[in-house]
Amino acid sequence: MKSVVTVCCLSFLLGLVAVVETDEDYTEDEEMILSLILQDDTQPEAESRPSAQFYRCTKDAWRMPGQYIVVMRNGTHVNQVERTARRLRAKAAKRGYLIEILQTYSGAFHGFLVKMSSDVLHMAVKLPHVEYIEEDSSIFAQSIPWNLQPVILVYSDDGAKVGVYLLDTSVQVTHREIEDRVMVTDFNSVPEEDGVRVHRQASQCDSHGTHTAGVVSGRDSGVARGASVNSVRVLNCQGKGTVSGALAGLEYIQSSLMSQPIRPVIVLLPFVGGFSRTLNTACRKMVESDTVLIAAAGNYNDDACLYSPASEPEVITVGAVNLADQPLSTGTTGTNVGRCVDVFAPGDDIISASSDCSTCFTTKSGTSQAAAHVAGIAAVLLNLSPNSSSAELLQQLLHHSVRQIINPESLPLNHRLTTPNMVATLPDSTSTLIGEDLLCRSVWSERSAVKGLATTTARCRHGEEMLSCSSFSQNGARAGERVEVSNGQKECVAVNGNGGHGVFAVARCCTGHKAQCQMLESPKRGEVAECPPDHQLTGCSSSSSSGDVSDSDRPPHGSRGACPAKRGEMSYASCCHTSSLECRLKEHDPTGLSEQVEVSCEDSWTLTGCQGLSHGSGVCGAFALGNTCVVHTSGGDKGTAAIATCCRHQLYYLSEASV
């Protein structure tokens, strides 16, 4: 039987590579296929290695079986990618399968896109240098065709120094709103439309992209009318694309920026797909190369962390609000929310260019429109401060946003604390904010497991400094928090307490600090963690190994800052060294009992740390909300105090006062 199989495989190979009875040399591919076919199947492979991981979209309806993204390990060279693809083709041919390499990637990651039977997967995951394989899946434009009352926005005429790359459908460049403002690139990677009766009229194919481009830089309806837009088509006429196509689009942009450097640059991603590790990685790598990425949160009334690229922490993810500045929602459709959303923006009936004719306008709603709105605001900010990093830009966006305008009751209960209550607006014309201002934001982790001493982690973005770490538990059962360093990055680690329902870690992440900061722990349990001379204390943390934590004493400030700890607990101090930074404590200790105690830093001061001081009441934890330190209590009869650490650049304000 084995000889029959070998003969059949050889016959297949003869037709595949046109082997003839001559002295002509075989190619490397042909030699590899021949050698693998002639191997004795009864012998095990010489090399045994663990299988690579395999991932697929959690949304079954969005999966694309038979098309796979093969991601190589870090440090893999291009020639190793090519050899891996050839080896996979040879192994598949040995079993009688044909595969097709559709795309290779060499930008944000090294790998290739392959079309093959799922029966070949078990061979693919065994290949050397393969880190993981991800099944391709669909992505979708995030506009909702509702017929609501129009809203007229206030726009700015700016952004001329900024280039925007728009990954969307095609764009009607002859529309008067965007004529001479949009350049259509030669990139096009879209799947076939679903169904056999799809009519590809230009107005249909250009609908989403034309409207989005108009929101960014339209003559009358654009937020940043001076910004130029480059159209990179990754969505078909139905507003549908693929993860692999989006990856190819990002790689195209990277290649374009290498050949013709432009800065500052914004990449607008007005689509979502299911969670994709590969797409998130590619986005993260682009941000690390000084590109700003802005994405739609998604229109599924769901947790944005379940979708990509919305879930990537380095991407600025935008949710949508309606005319009343409340989360956009109708029935089962509406904006995604949660800790992966960075900011909200208008997304309800936004007026912009229509692809029906060169002078037509229409209204569209959704997180695509909200993301385009933020891309326009970002272009205005980058025009003012073109050297701002993505992290600094986000801090500026949040600084200019309208805070605490969203009714918390309109958010799902499990996302009320972690969803940012901020709606983006254009900066005031009198604003003097620049990239060197001390600005901070709170980053929440996911909730930990409910078992005792379970941990969860919050991290800052690339370019941000963690100036404090706190934790929060709904029922007050927590074991505190600590700061660890992993791969050179600080992590705020919160620990669930005995009988806890899960705990959150809350990192205070800042830019513009101009300081060298470090986290110092106490020498022993129960002892203070003290900052060195000439350092400023920006925040305190404490943790317990017993599963329960009592909130620390008041941290002393003076020539040196220190963080005390109760008996049996470790304390941690965030200490920053700079001659220009000054920090001080501000405390609110109400005389009566209250379920929530707050204290805010004054104007010109920035909240860097937040603590609760218990007088006997149980403390659920403390967290920063804007420039306010918020402490929740879980009951008791002696009250709780809230302690804020407020910092600012001393020299900046001294020079300002002397003018």
Choose from 11-15, 156-160, 256-260, 563-567 the range with maximum mean pLDDT. Answer: 256-260
**CA dist list (Å): 644 to 254, 591, 597, 610, 628:** 43, 18, 11, 5, 8
Task: Judge whether 654 lies within some domain.
Answer: no
- Region 628-638 average pLDDT: 77
DSSP string, 110-146: EEEEEE--GGGHHHHTTSTTEEEEEEEEEEEE--B--
Of 394, 423, 452, the one marking the end of a domain is 423
- Higher per-residue confidence, 13 vs 612: 612
What is the Cα–Cα distance from 66 to 117, expressed in whole angstroms? 5
Task: Judge whether 388 lies within some domain.
Answer: yes
- Region 613-623 average pLDDT: 77
Give the whole-number percent of the chain exceeding pLDDT 90.
62
DSSP string, 380-419: HHHHHSTT--HHHHHHHHHHHSEES-S-GGGS-GGGTTTS
> Could you tell me if 362 and 490 lie in one domain?
no
pLDDT in tens, 397-420: 999 999 999 999 999 999 999 999
> Could you tell me if 180 and 131 lie in one domain?
no
Q: Select which of 208, 373, 399, 535 is catalytic.
A: 208
Q: Which of 74-78, 161-165, 583-587, 632-636 has the lowest mean pLDDT?
A: 632-636
**What is the structure's pLDDT at 554?**
61
Res. 153 pLDDT band, cuts 50 70 90: very low
> Could you tell me if 228 and 373 lie in one domain?
yes
pLDDT for residue 1 is more than 70: no
Q: How far is CA 506 from the centre of its chain?
A: 17
- Higher per-residue confidence, 308 vs 547: 308
CATH classification at residue 250: 3.40.50.200
> Could you tell me if 74 and 114 lie in one domain?
yes
Task: Judge whether 36 lies within some domain.
Answer: no
**What is the structure's pLDDT at 635?**
62
Of 364, 397, 423, the one marking the end of a domain is 423
pLDDT for residue 656 is more than 80: no
φ, ψ of residue 38 to 5 degrees: the values are -80, -5
- Higher per-residue confidence, 396 vs 44: 396
**What is the structure's pLDDT at 610?**
93
Name the nearest CA neighbour of 436 among 578, 561, 610.
578
- Region 344-364 average pLDDT: 94
Q: Select which of 368, 470, 544, 574 is catalytic.
A: 368
Q: Which of 144-148, 368-372, 641-645 has the lowest mean pLDDT?
A: 144-148
> Could you tell me if 94 and 174 lie in one domain?
no
Q: How far is CA 402 from the centre of its chain?
A: 22
> Could you tell me if 295 and 367 lie in one domain?
yes
> What are 111's two structure tokens?
């790998």
pLDDT for residue 137 is more than 70: yes
- Higher per-residue confidence, 568 vs 224: 224
- Higher per-residue confidence, 524 vs 1: 524
What is the Cα–Cα distance from 116 to 475, expressed in whole angstroms? 51
**What is the structure's pLDDT at 416?**
94
**What is the structure's pLDDT at 282?**
97
pLDDT for residue 83 is more than 60: yes
CATH classification at residue 627: 2.60.120.690
Task: Judge whether 475 lies within some domain.
Answer: yes
pLDDT for residue 109 is more than 90: yes
> Could you tell me if 129 and 81 lie in one domain?
yes
Q: Select which of 136, 168, 206, 548 is catalytic.
A: 168
Res. 116 pLDDT band, cuts 50 70 90: very high
**What is the structure's pLDDT at 632?**
86
pLDDT for residue 644 is more than 80: yes
Domain encompassing residue 512: 439-649
Res. 155 pLDDT band, cuts 50 70 90: very low
What is the Cα–Cα distance from 234 to 63, expressed in whole angstroms? 17
**What is the structure's pLDDT at 152?**
38
- Region 66-79 average pLDDT: 93
When computed from its CA atoms, the radius of gyration of the chain, rounded to whole angstroms, is 28
> Could you tell me if 129 and 157 lie in one domain?
no
Give 142's DSSP letter: -
- Number of separate helices (H) and strands (E) present in the chain: 11, 38
pLDDT in tens, 5-64: 444 444 444 444 443 333 344 455 555 555 555 554 444 444 556 789 999 999 999 999
Let me know if 432 is exposed, middle or buried by CB neighbors in 10 A (0-12, 13-18, 19+).
exposed
> Could you tell me if 480 and 397 lie in one domain?
no
**What is the structure's pLDDT at 199?**
54
Average pLDDT over the chain, rounded to an integer: 85
Task: Judge whether 221 lies within some domain.
Answer: yes
pLDDT for residue 147 is more than 80: no
**What is the structure's pLDDT at 421?**
96
Q: Going by DSSP bridges, is the β-strand pair 478-486/489-496 parallel, antiparallel, or unpaired? A: antiparallel
Give the whole-number percent of the chain exceeding pLDDT 70.
83
Active site residue 168: yes
Task: Judge whether 462 lies within some domain.
Answer: yes
- Region 534-548 average pLDDT: 85
pLDDT in tens, 162-210: 999 999 999 999 999 999 999 999 999 999 887 655 555 666 788 999 9
Task: Judge whether 6 lies within some domain.
Answer: no
φ, ψ of residue 201 to 5 degrees: the values are -65, 145
Active site residue 368: yes
∠ CA 283-491-553, nearest 5°, is 145
The pTM of the full predicted model, rounded to 2 decimals, is 0.89
**What is the structure's pLDDT at 658?**
42
Name the nearest CA neighbour of 316 among 405, 222, 379, 226.
379
**What is the structure's pLDDT at 640?**
82
What is the Cα–Cα distance from 243 to 250, expressed in whole angstroms? 11
Of 389, 423, 457, the one marking the end of a domain is 423
pLDDT in tens, 262-310: 889 999 999 999 999 999 999 999 999 999 999 999 999 999 999 999 9
> Could you tell me if 626 and 477 lie in one domain?
yes
Give 210's DSSP letter: H
pLDDT for residue 436 is more than 70: no
Res. 437 pLDDT band, cuts 50 70 90: confident
**What is the structure's pLDDT at 639?**
72
CATH classification at residue 58: 3.30.70.80
Res. 544 pLDDT band, cuts 50 70 90: confident
**What is the structure's pLDDT at 49?**
64
**What is the structure's pLDDT at 467?**
94
Calculate the dihedral angle through the C-alpha atoms of 369, 371, 373, 378, rounding to the nearest 10 degrees: -170
Task: Judge whether 659 lies within some domain.
Answer: no
> Could you tell me if 336 and 485 lie in one domain?
no
> What are 24's two structure tokens?
């002509």
Give the chain's domain count: 3
pLDDT in tens, 322-352: 999 999 987 778 999 999 999 999 999 999 9
What is the Cα–Cα distance from 32 to 90, expressed in whole angstroms? 6
> Could you tell me if 80 and 169 lie in one domain?
no
